[in-house]
Chains A and B, each alone.
Chain A
Amino acid sequence: MIGAFRLHKAYGRTAVLEDVSLDLAAGQCLALLGPNGAGKTTLLRIFATLLRPTSGELAVAGVDALRQPEAARAAIGVVAHGSYVYEDLSAIENLRFWTVMGGGDASRGRLRDALQQVELDAVAGERVRTFSAGMKRRLGLARVLLGRARLLLLDEPFTGLDQQGKKWLSEFLLAFKAGGGALVVATHSFGSGLGVADRVAILAGGRLLLDRPCGDLSWDELRRLYDSLTEGNGAVG
């Protein structure tokens, strides 16, 4: 689903990502761990075709994402802190807009279905302005459900959710994986993100320092590795 080869991203002389290569297959979930400023968001944005790398190659969903970003976008779903909702529109109106923009079928039934799956059907007609952060995130996921995303990129998705919200999200992501989708979850904490992951990668100082299947390491080992690798390698300048 993702084939990244030697990605570099530099702003002028400052390198934000250096020589990052990784692969992700369908039905897999990668947890991208790293301290703040390590370049996780940048890498995720490059995967999402929102940002162009300075050099390197990237294939997403079988398409050369650098030369044909448009073709890759149909298969990509992004859940980031910017939740892409219009505050003055209602939940269902937002879904209608984004679904049509994504080229999908926006019939009322389908939209209501998606809202039901994310447990927002009760507030379908309410303006999003009144929603909490968690609700907005669920709306973003409903949007993804209505699209044809086969790759989900999530940037700190569990932040700000309560215990129940986290449980709900984990189940959602596992279901997505079971359906053949691929996931990248970027996070800086050892939380729920790791629970759904098959592989874990550590990004620090713009470099990929580890990329291993989750089964290989115990939590403690991972924790120790993480601390030692990120010790001198904090935020990028």
Chain B
Amino acid sequence: MTAYARRAWIVLWKDLLTERRSKENLNALLFFSLLLLFLFQFALGPDREGLRAALPGLLWLGFILAGLLGLGRSFMTERDNDCWEGLRLTPGDKSAIYLGKFLGNFVMMSAVEVAVLALFGLFYDVELWPVLGPLAVVLPLGTVGLAAVGTLFAAMTAQVRARELLFPVLLLPAQVPLLLAAVSVTQAVLLGRPLAEVAHWLKLLAAADLVYVVIGVLTFEFVLDA
């Protein structure tokens, strides 16, 4: 492994290890998702059909809301432990840190999404087994975009005083196209349509994901450094 890859990997390792020890983030996010489930049900009323129709949107709304909470805390350990400067002092390309964090966030978000999906299937009585394949395509595609921009903005707002306000304000407009695309695809998938029908959306998602990750890699050093 190159030194760059080793650094990205060690950041990922550290984050996963820390999360496994403290378990605070994942547990809270899972519980939050459960709460959202109930909130959506109560907000939309007992109309089964209405809920079914809104399901793709609710699903991604849930992912994004969970993302707002979970991603916003990406650099919390760095801030709490004063390690921000320590990271700045390390030699070499800082974007390795971004990639490590991004991958860690992707893993965390994916874990939450799988749980949310399972819960939705259960509570809203949706047949997920037949469409698991296509879902396994669209979920990661949407999550990459969310995690890529979320990690970048989380680094930025970690040092700002009003970060709880600023992070959603910055992240949400950037998620609009991803939301539109992901919901459209998910809707088609849940209706049993083949993925080929929504290929243009998938291509848009893939292109957007690529753009966001590249921008993250290129600009992270400016967010970290002076």
Contact between A and B in the complex (any CB pair below 8 Å): yes
Count chain B residues whose beta carbon lies closer than 8 angstroms to a beta carbon of A.
Answer: 27
Q: Contacts A86-B14, A88-B22 known; A73 to B6 CB distance under 8 Å? A: no
The answer, yes or no, to whether A51 is at the interface (CB within 8 Å) is yes
By the criterion CB–CB under 8 Å, are B82 and A84 in contact? Answer: yes
Q: What is the size, in residues, of chain A's interface with B at 8 Å between Cβ atoms?
A: 29
Q: Which of A75-83, A107-115, A118-126, A173-181 contacts B (4 or more CB under 8 A)?
A: A75-83
Interface residue stretch chosen among B84-92, B156-164, B188-196: B84-92
B91 touches A102 (CB 8 A): yes
CA A60 – CA B92 in complex, angstroms? 16
CA distance A103 to B87 in the complex (A): 12
A74 to B91 CA separation, bound complex (whole angstroms): 5
- The interface residues of chain B, by DSSP majority, are classed as helix
The reply to whether B90 and A101 contact each other, CB–CB distance below 8 Å, is yes
Tell me whether A10 is interfacial, beta carbon within 8 Å: no
Task: Find chain A residues with CB under 8 A from B18 CB.
Answer: 86, 88-89
When A50-B226, A93-B17, A97-B10 are in contact, do A86 and B81 touch as well, CB less than 8 Å?
yes
Partner of A86 from the list B77, B93, B226 (CB cut-off 8 Å) is B77
Q: Are B14 and A50 in contact (CB under 8 A)?
A: no
Known interface pairs A86-B77, A100-B7, A101-B7; A70-B86 also in contact (CB < 8 Å): no
- Kindly list 14 other residue pairs between chains A and B, CB separation below 8 angstroms, not including A51-B226, A101-B87: A50-B85, A52-B226, A71-B91, A74-B91, A78-B89, A84-B83, A88-B21, A93-B14, A93-B17, A98-B90, A100-B6, A100-B10, A101-B7, A103-B90
24 contacts between A and B (CB under 8 A): A48-B89, A49-B89, A50-B226, A70-B92, A70-B93, A73-B89, A73-B91, A78-B89, A82-B82, A83-B82, A84-B81, A84-B86, A86-B81, A87-B80, A88-B77, A89-B21, A97-B14, A98-B86, A98-B90, A100-B6, A100-B7, A100-B10, A101-B10, A103-B3
